[in-house]
Amino acid sequence: MDSEKKSGIKKNVKICLIVFFIAFILAVAGSLFYLNWIIKTPVSNKSGKKYFEVKKGETTLTISKNLAEKKLVKSELVFAIYVRIKSGSLIPGVYEIPKNAKMIDVYDTISNGKTKVVKFTIPEGYRVEQIGQLLEEKKLGSYEDFVAKGAKLEGQLFPDTYYISPEYSTDQIIETMHANYLEKISTLTVSSEDLTIASIVEREAVKDEERPIIAGVYKNRLARKMKLEADPTVQYGKDNQSIKYINLSAKLNFPYWQQISSADYLSVKSPYNTYIIPALPPTPICNPGTKSIESTINYTHHDYLYFLQANGQIYLAKTQAEHEQNKLTAWGHK
């Protein structure tokens, strides 16, 4: 090979190396630009907030994946890399994150743990005292304060999952729950009678399909001026008597809705005991969910006046005699 060809090859190699180097630099620069864009650009321009939970023991990759699924970061891979670069840790807790937060802000929020909120769930059918027990357990306020202020809204403290600041006052917590109730029923016309019946249905129903049927039974009994004879009202009245004179420690651990005996039907002297009073209880007996409220408003129209639940089904009757026969069928005794 002559010197001219060798020189040409060297020149071509040099050009190729220069082109490769430039391409490499451009690729790196492009990647850095892309990463910077992902890190510093919000996923959304929408206002508002989302709640995000980091559970104890979750890996960075799992947290990154969950953030991406919640649309709080643009890329789960980039977030995981960013966490590794920052050599930080993601602290377990529930966080309030703006929808338009940048990835760096999301990381800062979760890594410093300073803007955590408290997550708690109020099950359907809880009475105000049970909510008070839960809030005291979560260190979100005083049981006594909550019960004193929330009792007048029994039935209207909507059972749901809430995310609140640990700094919330009792009044703010009650306002949040009541506002949620008002929002949930905003498309409904709920009378005080409907809400009270719904609270009984909530404690009675086992299956969703039973709710409008049970509501229909109570509507029929009221129309005929019959006593409702609803077991949950006896439980409510008996529990009221039981907690009246016990100390705070006992109240915080009191097990509500205990099974009642046949003697309780008449021995529990309470304005809530519908085996004694020929009317609705004076207030709801718990805080019902949307399904019970809707089922009471849109109850099933039928002629039944009695029901019982056993063996995974509901037994309906139009007369006391039929009801007694249902007891024999379901339980084998009266």
CB crowding 244-269: b at 16 or more within 10 Å, else e: eeeeeeebeeeebbeebeeebeeebe
Query: Which residue has 């190396």 as its token pair?
Result: 17
Given this model, what pLDDT does residue 320 score?
A: 95
Domain ranges of the chain: 49-114, 128-302
Residues of the chain with pLDDT under 70: 1-37, 39-40, 115, 333-334
Whether residue 199 contacts residue 296, with contact meaning beta carbons closer than 8 Å, is answered with: no
Q: Tokens representing 277?
A: 């009073």
Can you tell me the distance from the alpha carbon of 43 to that of 89, in angstroms, rounded to the nearest whole number?
22
Q: What is the pLDDT of residues 228-243, one digit of tens each?
A: 999 999 999 999 999 9
Phi-psi region of 57 (alpha: psi -120 to 50; beta: other; left: phi over 0): left
Whether residue 317 contacts residue 307, with contact meaning beta carbons closer than 8 Å, is answered with: yes
Can you tell me the distance from the alpha carbon of 173 to that of 158, in angstroms, rounded to the nearest whole number?
11
Q: What is the pLDDT of residues 160-213, one digit of tens each?
A: 999 998 889 999 999 999 999 999 999 999 999 999 999 999 999 999 999 999
In the DSSP assignment, the letter for residue 42 is -
Angle at 66 between CA 64 and CA 68, to 5 degrees: 70
Given this model, what pLDDT does residue 16 score?
A: 54
**Strand, helix or coil at 162?**
strand
Given this model, what pLDDT does residue 5 score?
A: 60
Given this model, what pLDDT does residue 116 score?
A: 77
Beta bridge partners of residue 317, listed in sequence order: 306
* 189-195 long-range contacts, CB within 8 A, separation 24+: 189/297, 190/293, 190/297, 193/222, 193/280, 194/293, 194/296, 194/297, 195/155, 195/156, 195/284, 195/288, 195/293, 195/296
Q: Tokens representing 245?
A: 């004179």
Can you tell me the distance from the alpha carbon of 209 to that of 316, in angstroms, rounded to the nearest whole number?
14
Report whether CATH 2.40.50.140 matches the domain 49-114: no
Can you tell me the distance from the alpha carbon of 246 to that of 260, in angstroms, rounded to the nearest whole number?
20
Q: Tokens representing 322?
A: 């039929």
Question: Burial level of 201, CB count in 10 A (0-12/13-18/19+)?
Answer: buried
Contacts of 315 (CB under 8 A, 6+ apart): 307, 308, 309, 326, 329, 330
